[in-house]
Amino acid sequence: MAIIKCPECGHQISDKAPVCPQCGVEIAGKITRCPQCGEVYFKDQSACPVCRHLTMSDEQMSTTRPQSPIQRQQTSPTPPIPPVAPQHSEAKTAPQTQTEQPTPSSPKKNNRTVLIISFIVAAIICAGLWYFYAEAGKKKELEAYEYAIKNSDPAVLQSYLDTYPDAPQAHRDSIRAHLSTLQQIDQQWNDALVNNSKEGFEEYLENHPNSPHKAEARHKIDSLDWVSALAADSEGAYKRYLEDHPNGEYVDEANDGLKRISAQTVQPQERQMISSVFRNFFQSVSARDEEGLRSSVSSLLTSFLGKPDATKSDVVTFMNKIYKEDTKSMNWKLNNDYKIDKKEVGDEEYEYTVNFSTIQEVEKTDGTTANNKFKVKARINPDGEISEMNMTKIVE
């Protein structure tokens, strides 16, 4: 099987193909190759369309085929034998010269034809090999061009220009233009690196959203925002970082910062809880409400008015003691001047140390009143109960 050009349309096909897939003309058994120039053409043509060598049928070729020397000898007419003159016995026999049959010469013409045909075949093979080599080179160049034109690495584009100096001019021009654009982008990227500002990197990404430096620019912005959050070291700064970079490189550190600040900072809802606990305690004392008083303290207080390991009953006893026989009523007022320290004692469990002041108003049975001011230091456990309380009277 050989690859030939279709005599009709010039499409590359196999000489064994039934028809040309391009134009549909019959191929197998309908074509011949010119022995003179090697051109492929249809058998029904009388002569080669290139060199005009006559087309001969098989029968004509057999009749015109050159005969071998033996065939020529067999077919040549036998020359007549001349009559022999009678010889006398006494005459001397004349010496006869035997005529030698000439030796046929070597078929130089046939050898020349074979050489010509061999040369033509070799030329066709070389042409075919060159063609396939050229086509393979074109295909390889095209693949390299398509890869380079989609690439954003200047080194890849420069490699194409160096490897294919004989590529189509349109391809080389496109690659040069693409390379020039990338080099311009690189210059702007270098400017952004020198400035090293969040605004500079954001502007670069806005102008070049598909830049090969896109990931690095986002990394730079992420790092700069984290440095700012770390310097502020505040709940708001860490929350802003997490909002701007939900998948940032420092999400874990930001969450740890929030947790640490939360462990140190009393939140508004925590302050409200603490105020509610002490208000309930002193309102229960004012109303002599034992149940309310018991619900405000833990089962065991580390210290209560100097008594270590005090119980709920000890707290109730304190309330009953401060009500003297001449006490008509009592009212405790909180100044809401809380100073709260927060300490983490478990996984997101906190203990609060609270300092504040309160005023005791006592109305006696004789109609007189007495006001006493106390400084209170107390502790509230993670369950929101008073676990320690000591009071000091302020003498003015």
Q: Are residues 179 and 225 in the same domain?
A: no
pLDDT one-digit tens code per residue, 298-333: 999 999 999 999 999 999 999 999 998 899 999 999
203 domain residue, yes or no: yes
How is 257-304 classified by DSSP, letter by letter? Answer: HHHHHHHHS--HHHHHHHHHHHHHHHHHHHTT-HHHHHHHB-SEEEEE
379 domain residue, yes or no: yes
pLDDT reported for residue 106? 55
128 domain residue, yes or no: no
Instruction: Taking residues 9-25, report their average pLDDT.
Output: 87
pLDDT one-digit tens code per residue, 45-57: 888 988 988 866 5
Return mean pLDDT, the chain.
84
65 domain residue, yes or no: no
Q: Are residues 177 and 219 in the same domain?
A: no
Considering only residues 88 and 237, tell me which one the structure prediction assigns the higher pLDDT: 237
Q: Are residues 283 and 319 in the same domain?
A: yes
Q: How confident is the model at residue 84 (pLDDT cuts 50, 70, 90)?
A: very low
Q: Look up the CATH number of the domain holding residue 369.
A: 3.10.450.50
Q: Are residues 320 and 338 in the same domain?
A: yes
pLDDT reported for residue 201? 92
pLDDT one-digit tens code per residue, 349-372: 999 999 999 999 999 999 999 999
Task: Give, for 44, the enclosing helix (H) or strand (E).
Answer: none
339 domain residue, yes or no: yes
Q: What is the dihedral of CA 78, 81, 82, 85, to 10 degrees?
A: 170
Say if residues 372 and 359 touch (Cβ distance below 8 Å): yes
User: What does the alpha-carbon distance between residue 329 and residue 341 come to, in Å, rounded to a whole number?
Assistant: 34
Q: What's the domain range around 367? A: 268-394
Amino acid identity of 388? E
| Single residue among 231, 264, 297 that ends a domain in this structure | 264
pLDDT one-digit tens code per residue, 155-193: 888 899 999 998 899 898 998 898 887 777 778 888 889
pLDDT one-digit tens code per residue, 57-72: 544 444 444 444 444 4
Q: How confident is the model at residue 274 (pLDDT cuts 50, 70, 90)?
A: very high
Q: Is residue 358 helix, strand or coil? A: strand
Q: How confident is the model at residue 276 (pLDDT cuts 50, 70, 90)?
A: very high
Say if residues 38 and 124 touch (Cβ distance below 8 Å): yes
Considering only residues 181 and 97, tell me which one the structure prediction assigns the higher pLDDT: 181
Instruction: Taking residues 11-33, report their average pLDDT.
Output: 87
Q: Are residues 274 and 337 in the same domain?
A: yes
Considering only residues 101 and 296, tell me which one the structure prediction assigns the higher pLDDT: 296
Q: Are residues 175 and 201 in the same domain?
A: no
Pairing relation of β-strands 40-42 and 31-33? antiparallel
Computed over its alpha carbons, how large is the radius of gyration of the chain? 58
Q: Are residues 211 and 277 in the same domain?
A: no
pTM over 0.75: no
